[in-house]
Amino acid sequence: MKDKKQKIDRLRLLAIFILMLGIVYFYINLFFPFAIPFFIKTGTFDRPLNMLIVGTDVTFIAETKKVDLRVNGRSDSIMLLHFDPIKNRINAISIPRDSFVQIPGYGYNKINASFALGGIDLTKQTIEKLIGVKIEKHILINTKGIEKLVDLLGGVWVDVEKDLYYVDHAQDLNINLKKGYQKLSGKQANGYTRFRHDAMGDIGRMLRQQQFIKALIKNLVNPVSIIKAPFIIDVIVNNIKSDLSLKEFILLANSIRAMPSENIRTQTIPADPASNWAGSVLILKQGEMNKLIKENF
């Protein structure tokens, strides 16, 4: 009888110990997910992934300020991501939208024309031909989707590097931001990431987009944002197109949540400004681009 009682006591202690481990794991996973070693992580992506993120613009009718459905917009931003779950790292490379490249079946043009000519499929083909890397998945984001997501999160804190001002009714842009660290609304964030009307042009805009993405990820991984997960998923489903399944998207989101912000590295393919029949273009530096791709993919 005594041995039986001792066995029951040991089982109780073991159950309590397992329960405590579960509570500790849940707490760390919620507040400090990056502290969990890869081999005991659950609910995360378990393989490397090359993914293309494309932001699309829309054209508005100046008189009515409504979207002009007759016009197929060009890609407003292009970013290639390499996700490495083993090293718990993301390497993100921005490709200037005015890069003068060869578009399969259409000859040379600005890279953002590939989306207008053949949608996301032609854009992927163009980039794969350009850099020699297979793209497995893509995410297609429209500007209104970003606005809704930022507003749902209650705004995103960004350090605006200088005063930004620009008005363009055809693009529904009314940018008026002052320098300084501040919380941006969805409308303001849209303007911040699309502004390129200064000496740095598209290069400056890509740097702002990279800074904004880091700030957005930091906000998304906040434990408070997890409570809003059902609403965030609803915004994503209705405003973001992707060939990721819902399960893959959730696993990827959880993987990024468990990643220290310093492990998200952003770079831009170097280029030289030029001018030709396509207007102001950027000629990518082939040697530096190849080195960048080799080091990050």
Kindly state the tokens that stand for 5: 């009682």
d(CA 189, CA 187): 5
Within 8 A by CB and 6+ apart from 223, the residues are 30, 31
pLDDT along the chain (297 residues), means of 10: 56 50 41 46 69 74 46 71 85 91 94 89 94 91 83 90 83 84 92 83 82 81 68 76 80 73 86 90 92 89
What's the pLDDT at 236? 74
Is the whole model's pTM more than 0.75, yes or no? no
Other C-beta atoms within 10 Å of 130: how many? 20
What's the pLDDT at 40? 41
Q: What is the largest CA-CA distance in the chain?
A: 94
Task: Look at phi and psi of residue 105 and say left if phi exceeds 0, alpha if psi is from -120 to 50, else beta.
Answer: left
Amino acid identity of residue 123, one-letter, is: T
Residue written as token pair 């009718």: 61
What DSSP character marks residue 78? Answer: E
Which residue from 194, 190, 215 is spatially nearest to 266, judged by alpha carbons? 215
SS3 readout for 173-226? EEEEECCEEEEECHHHHHHHHHCCCCCCHHHHHHHHHHHHHHHHHHHHCCHHHH
Burial of 107: CB neighbours in 10 Å, binned 0-12, 13-18, 19+: exposed
Would you say 95 and 111 are in contact if contact means Cβ atoms under 8 Å apart? yes
d(CA 128, CA 45): 23
Kindly state the tokens that stand for 226: 């997890």
Query: Measured between alpha carbons, how far is residue 294 from residues 48, 133, 176, 261, 289 in Å?
Result: 15, 10, 39, 23, 9
User: What domains are defined for the chain?
Assistant: 46-296 (3.40.630.190)
Write out pLDDT tens, residues 103-135.
999 999 999 899 888 889 999 999 999 999 999
Write out pLDDT tens, residues 135-169.
999 988 887 788 888 898 889 999 999 999 888 76
What's the pLDDT at 27? 39
Would you say 118 and 124 are in contact if contact means Cβ atoms under 8 Å apart? no
